[in-house]
């Protein structure tokens, strides 16, 4: 079968090549992949993982063969799934508890946007629950995690201020009560801040958090450090700076229900992933656009 393979020593960072068919473990289903998405964190993996490594975490497709241990969806089910790697291929193996059945009206492309970015959006927001009536600020709001977090926060009753780098980045953003160009333009204090840019953005987030509020630090897209002093929190007593990993923040058995929840939000129209859709043969060309902040929402690829 064909699969995306890491080629860090070549001019293109990845190639589509012939590889052996995957062999599912007893707890794994075999899935015919229809679409997948690319995450900013995966761009870095292309550089640091060895030649021949197989990338790919976010996939959607059809179960060809269910897990032998009986876990997970049945043969023929349309699913969204999170794999550790090797998902960007014609066929992939997925543990039964890391996938959810898609409602009929959810497209494979929309579903493929959900695993890493959607779980991150959902689970970072839980640090501010209940969100009803709270002021929430999302950084990187035009990006994969940010645009989903903005919509889910609004759906949960929060008043959301979304931070974008340039005005045009806010054009496709749904759900924000206010869109600001740069966190410095945000007004007031926030009960929950989702911070992924780092550097001066994280410093500004500290200045904008309510007393007893929470800043969830889940990324450092700028690569910049943030000088930090206890006194920075003096006017924000008992505010919390919370580290975050989407993968370990909740138990393994929560993957399937959370993926199902995200898919149901897409199904009922309250979550609408914004996509740039391409053939998987264009993956190597789209990567630099994501790196350079040219992609609004998620880059999703069809296996065609
Ligand atoms: N901890 C976890 O579990 C976890 C999970 C998923 C993602 N992440 C991290 O969360 C961040 C967001 O992920 P994502 O997939 O949403 O990425 P993305 O789609 O590339 O979005 C990131 C957004 O951040 C904004 N940004 C602000 N300053 C930036 C800078 N200096 N360089 C690059 N972007 C900048 C960009 O929007 P503007 O151009 O409009 O400013 C961009 O759209 C990444 O750092 C990623 O590694 C962490």
Give, for all 304 residues of the chain, the pLDDT tens digit.
999 999 998 988 899 999 999 999 999 999 999 999 999 999 999 989 999 999 999 999 999 999 999 999 999 999 999 999 999 999 999 999 999 999 999 999 999 999 999 999 999 999 999 999 999 999 999 999 999 999 999 999 999 999 999 999 999 999 999 999 999 999 999 999 999 999 999 999 999 999 999 999 999 999 999 999 999 999 999 999 999 999 999 999 999 999 999 999 999 999 999 999 999 999 999 999 999 999 999 999 999 9
283-291 vs 40-48: helix axis angle to the nearest 10? 110
Distance CA 185, CA 163 (A): 9
CA distances (Å), 20 to each of 1, 178, 280, 283, in order? 6, 50, 19, 21
CA of 290 to the centre of ligand 1 (A): 9
Residue closest by Cα to atom 21 of ligand 1: 143
Bridge partner list, 188: none
- Could you tell me the distance, in angstroms and rounded to a whole number, from the CA of residue 185 to the centre of ligand 1? 19
Ligand 1 is surrounded, with C-beta below 6 A, by: 39-41, 116-117, 120, 140, 142-146, 164-165, 169, 196-197, 218-222, 244-246, 290, 293
Residue nearest to atom 24 of ligand 1 (CA): 140
State how far the alpha carbon of 157 is from the alpha carbons of 135, 152, 178, 242, in Å. 10, 9, 14, 22
Distance between CA atoms of residues 143 and 43, nearest Å: 14
pLDDT score, position 241: 97
Q: How far is Cα 201 from Cα 140, in angstroms, rounded to an integer?
A: 10
Helix, strand, or coil (residue 130):
coil
User: What's the 199 CA to ligand 1 centre distance in angstroms?
Assistant: 13
- How close is the Cα of 151 to the center of ligand 1, in Å? 16
**Rounded distance, CA 285 to CA 123, Å?**
31
Calculated CA dihedral for residues 280, 197, 270, 57, nearest 10 degrees: 40
Residue 142 CA: nearest ligand 1 atom is 43
Dist CA 97 CA 101 (whole Å): 11
Output the CA 75–ligand 1 centroid distance in Å. 36
Q: What are phi and psi of 43, to 5 degrees?
A: -60, -40
Closest atom of ligand 1 relative to the 116 alpha carbon: 6
Could you give the CA distance from residue 139 to residue 27 in angstroms, rounded to a whole number? Answer: 38
Mutate to test the pocket of ligand 1, among 37, 40, 249 (most ligand atoms within 8 A of CB): 40
C-alpha distances in Å from residue 286, one per residue of 5, 37, 170, 258, 279: 16, 11, 20, 28, 10
Q: Are 192 and 125 in contact (CB under 8 A)?
A: yes
Between the CA of 219 and the centroid of ligand 1 the distance, in Å, is 7
């Amino acid at each position: 079968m064909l699969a995306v393979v890491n080629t860090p020593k070549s001019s293109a960072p990845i190639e589509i090549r012939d590889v052996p068919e995957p062999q599912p473990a007893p707890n794994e289903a075999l899935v015919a992949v229809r679409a997948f998405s690319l995450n900013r964190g995966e761009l870095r993996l292309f550089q640091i993982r060895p030649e021949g490594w197989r990338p790919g975490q976010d996939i959607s497709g059809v179960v060809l063969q269910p897990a032998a241990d009986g876990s997970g969806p049945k043969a023929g089910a349309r699913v969204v799934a999170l794999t550790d790697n090797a998902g960007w291929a014609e066929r992939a193996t997925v543990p039964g508890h890391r996938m959810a059945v898609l409602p009929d009206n959810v497209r494979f492309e929309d579903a493929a946007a959900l695993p890493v970015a959607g779980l991150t959006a959902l689970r970072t927001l839980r640090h501010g629950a209940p969100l009803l009536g709270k002021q929430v600020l999302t950084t990187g709001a035009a990006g994969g995690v940010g645009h989903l977090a903005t919509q889910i926060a609004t759906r949960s009753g929060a008043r959301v201020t979304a931070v974008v780098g340039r005005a045009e980045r806010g054009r496709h953003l749904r759900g924000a009560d206010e869109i600001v160009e740069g966190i410095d333009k945000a007004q007031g204090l926030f009960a929950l801040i989702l911070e992924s840019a780092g550097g001066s953005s994280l410093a500004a987030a500290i200045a904008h958090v309510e007393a007893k509020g929470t800043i969830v630090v889940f990324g450092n897209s700028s690569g910049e450090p943030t000088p930090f002093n206890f006194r920075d929190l003096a006017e924000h007593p008992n505010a919390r700076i919370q580290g975050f990993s989407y993968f370990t923040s909740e138990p393994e058995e929560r993957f399937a229900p959370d993926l199902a929840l995200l898919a149901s939000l897409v199904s009922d129209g309250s979550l609408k992933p914004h996509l740039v859709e391409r053939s998987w043969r264009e993956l190597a060309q789209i990567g630099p656009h994501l790196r350079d902040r040219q992609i609004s929402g998620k880059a999703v690829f069809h296996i065609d």
